[in-house]
Amino acid sequence: MNAKLQSLLARALIVILMGVTLLPFLSMFSAALAPSGTYPYGLQWPSDPQWINFVKAFEVANMGQLLLSSTLIVVGVVPVSVLVSTMAGYGLAKLTSDKYKWLYLIFVAGLTLPFEAVITPLYYEVRALGLLNTRFAIILPLIGLYMPFSVYWMRAHFLNVPKDLTEAAQLDGATRWGEFWRVQVPLARPAIMSLSILLFLWTWNQFLLPVVLVRDPMQRTMAGALGAFQGQWGTDVPLLCAGSLMILAPTIILFLLFQRQFVAALMQGAVKG
Amino acid sequence: MAGLELKDIRKSYGNVEVIKGVDLSIAHGEFVVFVGPSGCGKSTLLRMIAGLEDITGGDIHIGDRLVNDVEPRDRGVAMVFQSYALYPHMTVYDNVGFALKLAKTDKQVRDKKIREVAQVLQMEELLDRKPAQLSGGQRQRVAIGRAIVREPEVFLFDEPLSNLDAALRVDMRMELSRLHADLGATMIYVTHDQVEAMTLADKIVVLDNGIVQQIGSPLELYNRPANLFVAGFIGSPKMNILPVDVLETAENTITIAGTTIEKTTLPCASASIQAGSGLTLGLRPQAFVADPEGVLKGKVELVERLGHETIIRIRLKDETTVTAALVGQSDLEPGDMASLGFKPEEAHLFNASGERI
Contacts of A94 in chain B (CB under 8 A): none
Conformation bin of residue A183: beta by default, left when phi > 0, alpha when psi is -120 to 50: alpha
Residue A258, CA distances (Å) to A158, A206, B334 in order: 23, 20, 69
pLDDT in the model for residue B101 = 93
Q: Report the gap between the CA of A70 and the closest CA in chain B (Å).
A: 34
A112 CB neighbour count, 10 Å cutoff:
7
For helices A101-112 and A136-159, the axis angle rounded to 10 degrees is 130
Report which DSSP code applies to A35: P
Q: Report the gap between the CA of B83 and the closest CA in chain A (Å).
A: 7
A37 in contact with B at a CB cutoff of 8 Å?
Answer: no
| CA dihedral (A135, A138, A142, A145) positive or negative | positive
First and final C-alpha spacing in chain A: 35
Residues 6+ apart with CB under 8 A from A267: none
Pair type for strands B4-13 and B57-62: antiparallel
B230 CB neighbour count, 10 Å cutoff:
24
pLDDT in the model for residue A268 = 56
Provide the residue-wise pLDDT of chain A in tens; the chain has 273 residues.
Answer: 688 899 999 999 999 999 999 998 888 899 888 887 788 877 778 888 888 888 888 887 788 888 888 899 999 999 999 999 999 999 999 888 888 888 888 888 888 888 888 889 999 999 999 988 889 999 999 999 999 999 999 999 999 999 999 999 999 999 999 999 999 999 998 889 889 988 998 898 888 888 888 888 788 888 776 665 566 555 578 888 888 888 888 888 888 888 877 776 666 544 433
pLDDT in the model for residue A266 = 62
Conformation bin of residue B311: beta by default, left when phi > 0, alpha when psi is -120 to 50: beta
Report the Cα A193 to chain-centroid distance in Å: 13
Residues A219, A62 contacting (CB under 8 angstroms): no
Conformation bin of residue B354: beta by default, left when phi > 0, alpha when psi is -120 to 50: left
Contacts of A98 in chain B (CB under 8 A): none
Q: How far apart, in whole angstroms, are the C-alpha atoms of residue B339 and residue B240? A: 16
Q: How far apart, in whole angstroms, are the C-alpha atoms of residue B113 and residue B121? A: 12
Q: Do B102 and A164 touch (CB under 8 A)?
A: no
A164 in contact with B at a CB cutoff of 8 Å?
Answer: yes
A123 CB neighbour count, 10 Å cutoff:
16
Beta strands in A7-90 (DSSP E): none
pTM here? 0.80
Contacts of B52 in chain A (CB under 8 A): 167, 170-171
pLDDT in the model for residue A234 = 56
The size of chain A, in residues, is 273
Q: Among candidates A18, A184, A193, which has minimal Cα distance to A92?
A: A184
Provide the residue-wise pLDDT of chain B in tens; the chain has 357 residues.
Answer: 578 999 999 999 989 999 999 999 999 999 999 999 998 999 999 999 999 999 999 999 999 999 999 999 999 999 999 999 999 999 999 999 999 999 999 999 999 999 999 988 888 999 999 999 999 889 989 999 999 998 898 999 999 988 888 888 888 899 899 989 988 899 999 999 888 999 999 999 999 999 999 999 999 999 999 999 999 999 889 999 999 999 988 888 889 998 888 889 888 877 778 888 889 999 999 999 999 888 899 999 999 999 999 999 999 988 899 999 999 998 889 999 999 999 888 999 999 889 998
Cross-strand bridge partners of residue B203: B32
Q: How far apart, in whole angstroms, are the C-alpha atoms of residue B348 and residue B221? A: 12
Average pLDDT, chain B: 91
Q: Do B72 and A170 touch (CB under 8 A)?
A: yes
B14 in contact with A at a CB cutoff of 8 Å?
Answer: no
pLDDT in the model for residue A272 = 35
A165 in contact with B at a CB cutoff of 8 Å?
Answer: yes
For helices A63-90 and A189-204, the axis angle rounded to 10 degrees is 140
Q: Report the gap between the CA of A173 and the closest CA in chain B (Å).
A: 4
Q: How far apart, in whole angstroms, are the C-alpha atoms of residue B9 and residue B134? A: 38
Q: Do A171 and B73 touch (CB under 8 A)?
A: yes
Cross-strand bridge partners of residue B181: none
Q: Do B103 and A173 touch (CB under 8 A)?
A: yes
Phi and psi at B204, nearest 5°, equal -110, 135
Query: Of all residues in chain A, what percent are helix, strand and coil, respectively (each to 5)?
Result: 80, 0, 20
CA B277-B280-B285 angle, to 5 degrees, is 150
